[in-house]
Amino acid sequence: MTEFLLVFALAIALGWPLGRYLAAVMRGEPMRGDGLFLWLERPLYALIGTNPQRGMSWRGYASAFVLSNLMLAVIVWLILMTQAWLPLNPNGAPNMSWDLALHTMVSFLTNTNQQHYSGQAQLSYLAHMTGIVTLQIITPMMGLALTAATLRGLFGGRNAQARKAESHEQAPVDVGNYWADVIRPTLRFMVPLCLVWSVLLTSQGVPATLAGGPVVAPVDATVEMKEQKIPLGPVSPMVAIKQLGTNGGGWYGPNSSVPLENPTPLSNLLETLALILVPVAVAFMIGPFTGRRKFAGMVFGTMLLMSVASAGFAIWSEGHSSTSSDIALMEGKEVRLGAEPSALWAALTTQTSNGSVNAMHDSLAPLTGLVTISDMLINAIWGGIGSGLQQFLTYLLLGVFLAGLMTGRTPELFGRKIEAPEVKLLAVLVLLQPLVLLGLTAITLSVPSLAGNSNPGFHAISQVFYEYTSAFANNGSGFEGLGDATVWWNVTCSFVLAAGRYPALIIPLMIAAMLARKRQAPESAGSLQIETPTFALTLIAVIVILTLLQFMPVLVLGPVADHLTLVAR
């Protein structure tokens, strides 16, 4: 309970100033560090061939986003398939197969970091530093950029005043410059924050070296194993960005349950805090960025309430076995960490799109597994950097539409009507998730040789559904009882990773631009007030109902049935 309270208190205390700073960065305001940062930024703008002051329409913005992703995809895919022939490979990591390289590339490109490999054994230092870490730094900022553009669209765009003065309602809405929105927060926010966190983690004993690991004699050396090589590497920088960037892909296969990656109670606190620090800062960013502080308060309050409820239930579930209320469930956990910190981490890592672990999720209590799956299905409690807020805005638009229907009024958001074109696009996002997740889960379970389950029965359903849910939510954690390093899992998960990332980022931007082009009606006593606790509770109800209605059958057949079976024993 102490760590639970401390993590949330620190996240709020640090997230507030970080959010204000991030708002200034995204608005492009003059800053004290401009002398240094502009020196770094200008060559990048010149290389890309863009003017950071020149705005884009939503189509131009989305096109730049897709183009940058395609370019990075090709480069990283080639690095992974040729790493054995490249330098900085002291541990002799082999080239990845095309399907494993494809899944790894798409996974990190979508800010997911779902791993079907063990990093310490199957990636070279060069692949880690140039391919993996580069994507871990850039892709969160891409999500943040799309969200900033969406907020500009919802609040009229950067050229709103000019369009109003010209009475030219059909002028393209300026949602900002994509390249500036990625480069500025990368250099001014994410990289400095990661440097600080990396130093803090190194001080706790997390390795930070380019040397190969030492070879030692095991204490219980046998004929079969007379010596063991301990894998080291530039671990702390990767752990810093994996946690702060809602990435989750660790240097070691077992992630932060490995003592080298998470050696002390303080390192565990730092890494747990990092899970939600930047998403909390993004929620605080909304107020100064949009000028609607009450709106920011509603968003933050809604997210915080869902977060506390989810984490509290996970801690309660994991701290009590099904047969005795006095015995914590310790299977799959580090004894040095304990059940409650592991449950808190599991809840927070799935509330965001992080997915890192300090305990094995496959060994969680069934009801804790229900919490983690539900967090990922919602994907907007905090969510990924930018992408979580983007998903929250989708729920917000749905909530406004449903509230309008219930009150007999034309749904409006900030004085702009939500009409058939916007609702059709929202329907695409609502229906895409169950079609992809339930469809592929059914196909995989119908052919047992494809799934590679380690457990029969109800838990097998949870394992398969969790893997696809994790991919669609761009989370990356998993029930590790699956034999998922196969062509089937690599290819299908690559599809799910992309389906969960790009529509969820681009469609809300499209809707925001459509709303921004409409004439804004003045708010009146009859307008729907969304900046209130009442609407926040309504919005939570909409989120819960949507999740339960679409996925109740598979949740009952999976974790709920698993729990009832455990109780019956």
- Which residue type sits at 159? N
Does residue 537 fall inside a structural domain?
A: yes
Burial class (CB in 10 A: 0-12, 13-18, 19+), 207: buried
CB 479 within 8 A of CB 369: yes
Does residue 233 fall inside a structural domain?
A: no
Task: Please state the pTM of the whole predicted model.
Answer: 0.92
Does residue 283 fall inside a structural domain?
A: no
No. of helices (H) and no. of strands (E), the chain: 22, 4
Does residue 374 fall inside a structural domain?
A: yes
84, 75, 48, 102: which is closest to 496 by C-alpha?
Answer: 102
Does residue 226 fall inside a structural domain?
A: no
* pLDDT tens for each residue of the chain, 569 residues long: 788 999 999 999 999 999 999 999 999 989 988 999 999 999 999 999 999 999 999 999 999 999 999 999 999 999 999 999 999 888 888 999 999 999 999 999 999 999 998 877 788 989 988 899 899 999 999 999 999 999 999 986 555 444 444 444 456 789 999 999 999 999 999 999 999 999 999 999 999 888 877 888 777 766 677 777 788 888 999 899 999 999 988 788 788 999 999 999 999 999 999 999 999 999 999 999 999 999 999 999 999 999 999 999 999 988 775 455 555 677 788 888 888 999 999 999 999 999 999 999 888 999 999 999 999 999 999 999 999 999 999 999 999 998 888 877 778 888 888 989 999 999 999 999 999 999 999 999 998 888 777 677 898 999 999 999 999 999 999 887 788 889 999 999 999 999 999 999 999 999 999 999 888 877 766 677 888 999 999 999 999 988 888 899 999 999 999 989 888 76
Beta strand residue intervals within 70-164, DSSP E: none
Does residue 329 fall inside a structural domain?
A: yes
For 381, what's the count of Cα atoms within 13 Å in the CB-facing half-sphere?
Answer: 30
Q: The tokens of 182 are what?
A: 């990625």
Beta bridge partners of 276: none
Which residue range(s) make up the domain with 321?
33-181+292-569
Does residue 410 fall inside a structural domain?
A: yes
Q: What are phi and psi of 323, to 5 degrees?
A: -110, -20
In the chain, the number of structural domains is: 1
